Structure formats: C-alpha cells, structure tokens
Amino acid sequence: MADFQASVVLPRNRETSFRFLRQPANFLKLFPEDVTNNLDVKLPDTLSKGAVLEFNIRAMGNHFHIVHEIIGLVENERIVAQQVKGPFKLWIHQQLFTDAPQDETLLTNVIQFEPPGGLMGFIVTRKLITEQLTKWIGHGHELLRESLAKTPS
C-alpha cells in the first residue's frame, strides 16, 4: 500500500471550506478538467455518509468508470471516500480540515492506494500514480483556493 499526502491553506474558515467541499462538483475540482469527463456523471446533491459518486476519468491514455462511496464524514473535520468500483486494488481518499491562522483552513488530502493488478499494474505503478497525484492535487488545490476566495463566508 502507498500513501500520498498534500496540504493547502484555504482562504476561508473551516466551516465554509467544509461546506464548499461537501458539494460533489467542488470535490471533483481536485482533478484537472482534462482528466475528468463529465459525461454520465452521477453525483448526489451533497456529500453524506453512504453517498455514492460515479464518474468517468481519463488518465494515462485510458477511460475509467469509477464509483466512490463516502464511508466517513465528520462535520467540519473530515470526508472519507473509498473506491468501490474502478481500476485500483485500493483507493481511500481522506480530506482533513483543521484551523489555520487568520481564520483560514488547512486542508490535507491523504490518499491510500494500491495500483491496479494485471498488465495494467506494470504500467500504472506507484511511482506514476504518485507523480500524477502530485500534479493533479497541486492544480486542484490552486483551483480550490481561487474558488473559495470568491465564495462569501
């Protein structure tokens, strides 16, 4: 199993940041538009424990249909999504919210994953996944910062 972690300070308090990321469309902003394919996306109105997110993603030259379930949600503290269908042997994505100075929020994304098996696993390695996550989450953090800066408290 591999772990990936990245953090960003968001320009709103924890409650506002949590409420923003509880909206599935904002949750998907962590990934660049050229990766997410909004066709046939099925998202709940808001994230809650047991909610299911279905979406298509284009990555590494392939299209994938992925289903995540929200397996944990603690108001203003954490959102945990687990892949229940998709290419990975394991994928758990935690978003952790903590207070930061100046009424801001430290958002930490922790992703535990196991690369795919079979032939795909020879190409889609831990190293490649980590490189892609570094790029995607870094870009997503900037989008979140910009979006939240425009969102009223």
Question: How confident is the model over 39-82, as pLDDT tens digits?
Answer: 567 788 899 999 999 888 776 677 788 899 999 999 999 999 99
The model's pTM: 0.89
Is the pLDDT confidence value at 122 over 70?
yes
Residue given tokens 């009223």 in the structure block:
152
CATH number of the domain that residue 60 is part of? 3.30.530.20
Number of structural domains (the chain) is: 1
Range of the domain at 30: 2-150
- CA separation for the pair 151, 36 (Å, rounded): 23
